[in-house]
Amino acid sequence: RARWEGGAFEGSEEERHRILAEAMERGAAYIDVEWRAGFDDLIRARDGRGVIVSLHDFSGVPADLQFRAAAMRRTGAEIVKISVATSSLRDCLPLLDLARNNEASGGDGAGSVLIGMGEAGWATRILAGKFRSRWTYAGRAAPGQISLDRLLREFRFRSIRRDTAVYGVVGSPVAHSVSPAMHNAAFAALGIDAVYVPLRASTPDDFMSFAEAIGLNGASVTAPFKPALAAIVDGGDPVVKRLGALNTIRRARDGWTGINTDVRGFLAPLAGRIDLAGCRAAILGAGGAARAVAAALGGEGAIVSVFARDDNQARAVASLAGGAGFSGLPARDSWELLVNTTPVGTSPRVNDTLVAPDDLAGAAGRFVYDLVYNPLETRLLRDAATAGCDTISGLDMLAAQAALQFEWWTGQPAPKAVMRQAALAALKTTEVSGLSGE
């Protein structure tokens, strides 16, 4: 690949031409010739067969993409490959339009490979069939590529058809979310023809435009879009109205509907283990996850206190449970349930904790719940276990809320053990953000 097209070849254009010609003579299945290279003789030598004519634009999506694609097709090459840098989901839509226009004009799309480079373009790689691409690329050779193992195993690339139902997780960033592993494993276990993909959006409108264009069936919603999409999607869920945030949407007959499974997902691991009515619960943090936790605990009759750096924010969160908000940290003997909703302790800073071991002295028999799920056992949970506390990992909440999402989308019981196992496997191989409820 020439340097002027993003490659690393150091030689002259004459050398490149000679190497490509020799590859043809030796029976290479395909050679890749840049559209701007002017190597038309190589295309003619095979009547286009086994020749890819390619365009790589690292600056973004060119305004004249349709014109360039038409010119590339006129070269007679068997495959037209177009790779453009994407910074939003909307940047993928010209590629989708290109594929559909070509199909509508009489082509079957089999002669195209259309790729959005970067995390925002992952859908073009995973959903290659929907973009009418003959194939896609996997590995770590270029920005935004997905490993071959993940593409084949997690996303089940070879089973994705044009009519396969599409779900996803929308946020920024989302590339290292373990949600695709859980939901794709669940679809596979129940034989559902569906795929779940990461969708890195720049804005809520960016996501909604892509969702409509691709025919998205549903999505998990994560930071920073939970409040914004709650304002756009009206599902009538009282939890959404109370929190001003949703974490799940699905397509309805007249648009979209949404719910919030974080509250029930948080409570699920506590069921049968602790009586929350009258329980003194201390929440660390005042972000979106803390709001869901406060609403959950308040709804069960717990006595809630919220602790954060900003006491005004702490009081605002505590008001969801009729509780009190403070700056700083809770006193040693002031709680029966301690919940960390902050990212403190998340990988790679695994030795960080908000609660010193001495502050857990005498806490035997109490509960400590850390919404961080990477690592599975945080420093806080480790110290709490040493002090004799019962501990709950953020993975328990993550898996519980994901199961609720799956059931709402499909109407079928979620294979919870399969989903949890998939999350555990993904945690061993993927760098993840690691905080449930955000």
Is 97 in a helix, a strand, or coil? helix
Can you say whether residue 346 is alpha, beta or left, with left for phi > 0 and alpha for psi between -120 and 50 degrees? beta
Flag whether pLDDT at 389 surpasses 60: yes
Please give the pLDDT value at position 236. Answer: 85
Please give the pLDDT value at position 438. Answer: 65
Residue 359's pLDDT band (cuts 50, 70, 90) = very high
Q: Does residue 268 or residue 234 have the better pLDDT?
A: 268
DSSP at 344: T
Residue 54's pLDDT band (cuts 50, 70, 90) = very high
What lies within 8 Å, CB to CB, of 115 at 6+ separation is 81, 82, 83, 84, 95, 121, 124, 125, 133, 136, 137
- Rounded average pLDDT over 127-152: 88
**Residue 318 backbone phi and psi in degrees, to 5:** -60, -30
Looking up tokens 């007679």 gives 76
Spatial distance between the Cα atoms of 214 and 364, rounded to a whole number of angstroms: 52
Q: What is the pTM of this model?
A: 0.93
Q: Which amino acid is at 285?
A: G
Between the alpha carbon of residue 113 and those of residues 57, 131, 155, 375, the distances in Å are 14, 8, 19, 38
Q: Are 425 and 180 in contact (CB under 8 A)?
A: no
Q: What is the pLDDT of residues 297-349, one digit of tens each?
A: 999 999 999 999 999 999 999 999 999 999 999 999 999 999 999 999 998 99
Spatial distance between the Cα atoms of 291 and 394, rounded to a whole number of angstroms: 16
Q: What is the pLDDT of residues 13-38, one digit of tens each?
A: 999 999 999 999 999 999 999 999 98
Flag whether pLDDT at 108 surpasses 50: no
Q: Lowest mean pLDDT of 107-121, 158-172, 218-232, name the range.
A: 107-121
Q: What is the mean pLDDT of the chain?
A: 94
Flag whether pLDDT at 141 surpasses 80: no
Residue 280 lies in a domain: yes
What lies within 8 Å, CB to CB, of 386 at 6+ separation is 357, 360
Flag whether pLDDT at 427 surpasses 50: yes
Alpha-carbon 32 to chain mean position: 32
Residue 323 lies in a domain: yes
Residue 79 lies in a domain: no
- Rounded average pLDDT over 60-89: 95
Please give the pLDDT value at position 5. Answer: 86
- Rounded average pLDDT over 392-400: 97
Please give the pLDDT value at position 369. Answer: 99
Residue 107's pLDDT band (cuts 50, 70, 90) = low
Residue 73 lies in a domain: no
Please give the pLDDT value at position 158. Answer: 96
Flag whether pLDDT at 110 surpasses 60: no
Residue 78 lies in a domain: no
Burial 383-415 (b: 16+ CB within 10 A, else e): bbeebebebbbbbbbbbbbbbbbbebbbeeebb
Q: Lowest mean pLDDT of 40-49, 160-169, 179-188, 267-276, name the range.
A: 40-49
Residue 331 lies in a domain: yes
Q: C-alpha dihedral over 89, 93, 96, 100, to 10 degrees?
A: 150
Please give the pLDDT value at position 349. Answer: 93
Please give the pLDDT value at position 101. Answer: 86
Between the alpha carbon of residue 285 and those of residues 113, 308, 310, 338, 420, the distances in Å are 46, 5, 9, 11, 26
DSSP at 120: G
For residue 79 the two structure tokens come to 């495959």
CATH of the domain at 315: 3.40.50.720
Residue 81 lies in a domain: no
- Rounded average pLDDT over 255-270: 97
Flag whether pLDDT at 53 surpasses 50: yes
Domain that holds residue 354: 265-396
**Catalytically annotated residues:** 56, 81, 226, 262
Cross-strand partners of 219: 168, 249
Spatial distance between the Cα atoms of 393 and 368, rounded to a whole number of angstroms: 9
Please give the pLDDT value at position 432. Answer: 55
Q: Lowest mean pLDDT of 99-108, 287-296, 347-356, name the range.
A: 99-108
For the chain, give the percent of residues with pLDDT over 70: 96
Please give the pLDDT value at position 109. Answer: 45
- What is the count of structural domains for the chain? 1
Residue 8 lies in a domain: no
Q: Does residue 220 or residue 46 have the better pLDDT?
A: 220
- Rounded average pLDDT over 83-89: 97
Q: Are 89 and 206 in contact (CB under 8 A)?
A: yes
Flag whether pLDDT at 104 surpasses 90: no
Spatial distance between the Cα atoms of 75 and 44, rounded to a whole number of angstroms: 9
- Rounded average pLDDT over 171-198: 96
Flag whether pLDDT at 399 surpasses 50: yes
Flag whether pLDDT at 433 surpasses 70: no
Please give the pLDDT value at position 188. Answer: 98
